[in-house]
């Protein structure tokens, strides 16, 4: 996730930061192919963890870099995005795994709603912990941190699935490549979208000093994310996955557009009026 730190910074959107996602993607793909070819040539199993790590992280890191370069007011430094992706992802994976395990022991089965609730709560913990320590409680800041936490979670979860697939397939790299590609392409419309939208709503509520309407907005966003997560896990068909992905990514896009408009309106309201002209 170090590419995230290089892609985001404070201040205005520079040309370098705006296009940082492109070298992140290109370099990531190049490194993945380099490791994959070395693994095929040498059959050295020590290269497998590196292959899975790079393959799981390329798309999430690229998407965070892309979002950090958009034109909306945020002042989250790159190092904090990287820390959020790492720490938030680890916290999310560990706590979600523990909660899901105990749900299985207690209920005898893990319902999709319980899985969605556990994972969406776990991914939101670190962005919520960061909130009191960031000077500006802007929804844009929450959106970026939520997406970063979701990116870390998605990458770590994909690494786990890839490892299991490698074992179950008897060491088939083709099976691992397919899983990494599929989960990578879907991650922006999954974990990153859900946590980004809910974290933005959380920071909006904090910026509004926890007014009832703002808190209700956050609760609604969170429940929608849990519902979409549960629908994703319950879907057993390609049309179902596509439908949930389109809705989830659409909500992320609409949230980003709304935040951008609100930021522009706030800047316009604070801009001093020009001198009057007498005629």
pTM equals: 0.87
DSSP type of residue 72: S
Residues 6+ apart with CB under 8 A from 23: none
Cα–Cα distance, 149 to 189 (Å, whole number): 14
pLDDT of residue 109: 53
Instruction: Evaluate if residue 112 carries a pLDDT over 50.
Output: yes
Binned at pLDDT 50, 70 and 90, residue 108 comes out as low
Instruction: Evaluate if residue 6 carries a pLDDT over 60.
Output: no
Q: Residues 103-117: what's their mean pLDDT?
A: 72
Closest CA to 191 of 5, 6, 9, 64: 64
pLDDT of residue 268: 59
Instruction: Evaluate if residue 271 carries a pLDDT over 70.
Output: no
Q: What is the DSSP track for 83-140? A: HIIIIIHHHHHHHHHHHHHHHHHHHSS--HHHHHHHHHHHHHHHHHHHGGGSS---HH
Cα–Cα distance, 229 to 268 (Å, whole number): 37
In this predicted model, what pLDDT tens digit does every residue of 152-175 receive, in sequence order?
999 999 999 999 999 999 989 999
Q: Residues 144-159: what's their mean pLDDT?
A: 96
Binned at pLDDT 50, 70 and 90, residue 240 comes out as confident
């Amino acid at each position: 996730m170090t590419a995230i730190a290089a892609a985001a910074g404070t201040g205005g959107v520079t040309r370098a930061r705006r296009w940082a996602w492109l070298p992140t993607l290109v370099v990531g793909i190049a490194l993945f192919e380099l490791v994959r070819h070395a693994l095929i040539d040498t059959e050295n199993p020590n290269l497998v963890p590196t292959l899975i790590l790079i393959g799981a992280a390329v798309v999430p890191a690229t998407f965070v870099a892309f979002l950090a370069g958009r034109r909306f007011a945020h002042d989250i430094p790159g190092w904090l995005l990287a820390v959020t992706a790492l720490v938030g992802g680890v916290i999310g994976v560990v706590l979600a795994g523990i909660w899901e395990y105990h749900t299985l022991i207690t209920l005898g089965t893990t319902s999709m709603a319980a899985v969605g609730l556990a994972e969406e709560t776990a991914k939101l913990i670190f962005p919520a912990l960061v909130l009191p320590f960031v000077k500006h409680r802007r929804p844009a800041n929450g959106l970026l941190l939520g997406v970063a936490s979701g990116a870390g979670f998605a990458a770590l979860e994909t690494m786990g699935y890839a490892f299991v697939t490698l074992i179950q397939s008897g060491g088939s790299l083709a099976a691992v490549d397919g899983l990494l590609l599929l989960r990578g392409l879907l991650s922006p419309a999954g974990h990153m979208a859900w946590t980004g939208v809910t974290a933005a709503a959380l920071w909006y509520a904090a910026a509004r000093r926890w007014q009832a309407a703002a808190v209700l907005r956050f609760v609604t966003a969170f429940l929608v994310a849990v519902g979409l997560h549960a629908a994703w896990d319950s879907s057993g068909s390609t049309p179902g996955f596509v439908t949930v992905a389109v809705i989830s990514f659409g909500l992320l896009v609409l949230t980003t557009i709304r935040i951008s408009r609100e930021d522009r309106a706030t800047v316009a309201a604070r801009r001093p009026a020009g001198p009057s002209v007498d005629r």
